[in-house]
Amino acid sequence: MSFTARCLWIACRGVALMPRVIQYHCIGSVIYFIMRYILRYRRSLILKQLTDSFPERSKTEIRSICNDYYHTLAETVVGTMTLASMNRRMRREVLKVEVPDSVRETLEGKNFVYFSSHHNFWEYAQFAGLCFPGHMTVCAYHPLKSKVWDELYYHLRENADCKPVPSSELIRYFLRHKDSGIDNRRLLLGLIADQNSPPKGEVHWYNFLNHKTLFFEGGEQMALKFKMPVLYLSMSRIKAGRYRGEVKMLYDGEQSVEKHEIMERYVSELEKDIRREPSRWMWSHRRWKYKPDPDTGEVIYCGKGY
């Protein structure tokens, strides 16, 4: 790790060792104030995406969701820093996950795919893997352009139960370990599946939050090719820094499904979660860079305007 990245990691660890009341109610409040009132961080983008996604809601409701979203941002910043000092016991505490017995039986001795999203605090989503002690979590991530920040995030995410792997290398990594596993454990492929997918070849548009939307489909393709079950983690907030997770089976690895059907199930579950807690999804990212041409169906790049 470079000197700058190590300094940032030490700063994160300093915050991580503080009492929760200072982390979330003091530092978090300062970050919230700066984001909302001073920087007004991407406020126009957030409001536009909320308005277009929830046309049935009033302007007052949209502004309220937007303002609450800045609390989500602040908690995300603080939560990321807490990763610098978490042991296995603490990881179990910050995310309580319910796994039905039928799901455990289906996954016994198998590699499987695990979909999460940017709803609530996604960095903690990897901790759901602790509910499956016979599996090693392999988390796909997109490397950051800044080498320093990329190094920092890698070291914050890596632990004895999680191996971060760049998305572009995930398939090769899986093929090397799919039979032997890692440390005598089968593979749990963790994918944040609501990323904004760039169009490649033939595309499929999903109906999502009042938009025609593209999603990365690599997880479905791997699941079908290697007959792996697919789970979805539904997260809900208990209080600052504490979450509850519910595991749902999207595909058992054996049933006959149509192309895109697994992703359709994922998109449906994700939209339910967002509508339940709308301020907990990451609205400050530009979600809809592409749309279909109404006449030809071809992909249109919307540019920075949206």
Quick check: 149 and 156 in contact, CB under 8 A?
A: no
Per-residue pLDDT tens digits of the chain, which is 306 residues long: 899 999 999 999 999 999 999 999 999 999 999 999 999 999 999 999 999 999 999 999 999 999 999 999 999 999 999 999 999 999 999 999 989 999 999 999 999 999 999 999 999 999 999 999 999 999 999 999 999 999 999 999 999 999 999 999 999 999 999 999 998 899 999 999 997 777 877 889 999 999 999 999 999 999 999 999 999 999 999 999 999 999 999 999 999 999 999 999 999 999 999 999 999 999 999 989 998 988 887 888 886 544
What's the CA gap between 86 and 281, in Å, rounded?
24
pLDDT at 115: 96
Residue 28 identity? G
pLDDT at 306: 45
pLDDT at 303: 66
Report residue 211: phi and psi, to 5°. Answer: -135, 155
Residues 6+ away with beta carbon under 8 Å from 228: 110, 111, 112, 113, 189, 222, 253
pLDDT at 298: 85
What's the CA gap between 261 and 185, in Å, rounded?
29
pLDDT at 305: 46
- Domain boundaries defined on the chain: 92-305
pLDDT at 304: 59
What's the CA gap between 220 and 277, in Å, rounded?
26
What's the CA gap between 195 and 180, in Å, rounded?
30
What's the CA gap between 162 and 188, in Å, rounded?
9
Look-up: residue for tokens 């800045």? 70
pLDDT at 212: 93
What's the CA gap between 171 and 140, in Å, rounded?
10
What's the CA gap between 14 and 279, in Å, rounded?
28
Strand, coil or helix: 132: coil
Torsion-angle region of 229 (φ positive above 0: left; ψ -120 to 50: alpha; else: beta): beta
pLDDT at 294: 84
pTM beyond 0.75: yes
